[in-house]
Amino acid sequence: MTGSEERLSPADTAIITQALVAAAHEMGGKLIRSAHSPIVREASDCSTALLDPDGNVVAQAELIPLQLGSISQTFAPCAAITPPSDLGPDDFYINNDPFHGGQHVPDVFIFTPIFIDEALTGFSASVAHHIDLGGGAPGLNPEASDVHQEGIIIPPGCWSTSRDWCGGPLERLLRANIRMPDATIGDFNAQFAANRIGAARLEQLCRKHGREKVLAVMGEILDYSERRVRAAISAVPDGTYRGEDALDDDGLGSAPLPVRCTLTVSGSELAVDFAGSAPQVKSNMNNPFASTVGATASVIKAV
C-alpha cells in the first residue's frame, strides 16, 4: 500500500476518493472563474489535479485530457532539480519547457506542495494555456520555426511564492517579456488561487479523517486504477496490433505526415510504439514526449 499501512474500510475509501475528486473539480472551477483571458475563462483551456507526495496524480478535474495525462511527466523534471523533501510551504514548482517534461510553451504547469503539520502530504497542480508569453507573435505563433519563437521558456525548477512572485523577480521577468502583462499575470494568479483551494480541501480532509488515512486512500486510488486498467487490457487477445493515419501536411506545404502506432498486448501489459512516424518538422505540429504520453493514455482509457 502506498504512503501508509492504515487499514481502510470501503466507506472510508469511497468518501475520501470522492472528496479528492470534488476538490480537483473545485480547483478547475476556481481557475476558470478567476482567469483574466478568454482562452481560460471561455474556452476552459486549463486543467487541475491533486497529486500524492511522490507526484502521482490521484484526482483530476474533467478538463483537457492532453494536459491531465502529462501532469506527472511534467512534475518529474521539477522534482529531479529540487527533490520534494527539500521543499517548504512557500515553494512551488513551475515548468513549460517542451524539452524537459512540458508541452507547448503556452501551457505553464504550476505545482504547489501541501504540508499538514509540517509533513509533505501532496501537491496541488494547475496548468493553463496562456494568451501571451512573448515570442514572435501573441498566443500561438503558426509561423514559428523554432520553440524560442513561441515565447519565454521557464525550465523546470523551484521558486518561492513570497520572494519570487508577488512582485518578485519571476513575475517581473514575465511581465517584461509579454505584450499583455495584466491578462497573463492574472491567469498565473488564477492558477495559484486554484492550487490554494486544492491545498485547503486536502487539509480539511486530513483534519477530518487523519493524514495517514488520506495517504492510504491515495495509494488505494493508484492501486485500484492499475487493477482496472490491467483487467481491461487482459480482456484483449494477446498479439500485435498496428494502425496508421496521417496529418495532411506540416502547415508549410509538405507531403502528408504519417503517424504509425504498434500496440503489443501480453497478458495485462500493453506496449505502445510510434516507430515509423514522421520525423520532426519545422512547424508547431511536433508532439513533445509529455504530450505523447498524455494523448496515448487518454486514447487507451477511452477505448
Q: Give pLDDT tens digits for 169-228.
A: 999 999 999 999 999 999 999 999 999 999 999 999 999 999 999 999 999 999 999 999
Cβ neighbors of 207 (< 8 A, separation 6 or more) are none
The helix-helix angle for 181-209 and 211-234 (nearest 10°) equals 100
Domain boundary among 174, 192, 226: 226
Mean pLDDT across the stretch 103-117?
95
Q: How many domains does the chain have?
A: 2
Given a cut of 50, whether residue 1 has pLDDT beyond it is no
Same domain, 184 and 252: no
Helix (H) or strand (E) run with residue 70 in it? none
Same domain, 166 and 262: no
Same domain, 221 and 281: no
Given a cut of 80, whether residue 7 has pLDDT beyond it is no
**Structural domain for 245, as ranges:** 239-302
pLDDT score, position 4: 43
Average confidence score pLDDT of the chain: 94
Pairwise CA distance, residues 256 & 247, whole Å: 6
CA-wise closest residue to 233 among 131, 301, 175, 185: 301
In a domain, 179, yes or no: yes
Same domain, 147 and 273: no
CA-wise closest residue to 126 among 80, 63, 178, 38: 63
In a domain, 62, yes or no: yes
Q: What is the pLDDT of residues 52-72, one digit of tens each?
A: 999 999 999 988 888 888 899
Same domain, 173 and 258: no
Same domain, 207 and 98: yes
Same domain, 28 and 115: yes
pLDDT score, position 303: 87
Same domain, 38 and 161: yes
Same domain, 196 and 251: no
Mean pLDDT across the stretch 129-151?
88
Same domain, 151 and 273: no
Mean pLDDT across the stretch 290-301?
91
Same domain, 264 and 193: no
Same domain, 119 and 218: yes
With cell 508541452, the residue in question is: 103
Given a cut of 50, whether residue 2 has pLDDT beyond it is no
pLDDT score, position 6: 56
In a domain, 212, yes or no: yes
Domain boundary among 174, 193, 226: 226
pTM, rounded to two decimals: 0.94
Q: 48 pairs with which residues across the strands?
A: 126
DSSP structural state of residue 237: P
CA-wise closest residue to 107 among 142, 70, 158: 70
CA-wise closest residue to 109 among 160, 68, 65, 56: 68
In a domain, 57, yes or no: yes
Pairwise CA distance, residues 248 & 258, whole Å: 9
Contact (CB, 8 A) for 194 and 29:
no
Pairwise CA distance, residues 106 & 277, whole Å: 25
pLDDT: which is higher, 49 or 146: 49
Q: For 41-50, 67-76, 189-198, 236-245, which range has the lowest pLDDT when averaged over its residues?
A: 67-76
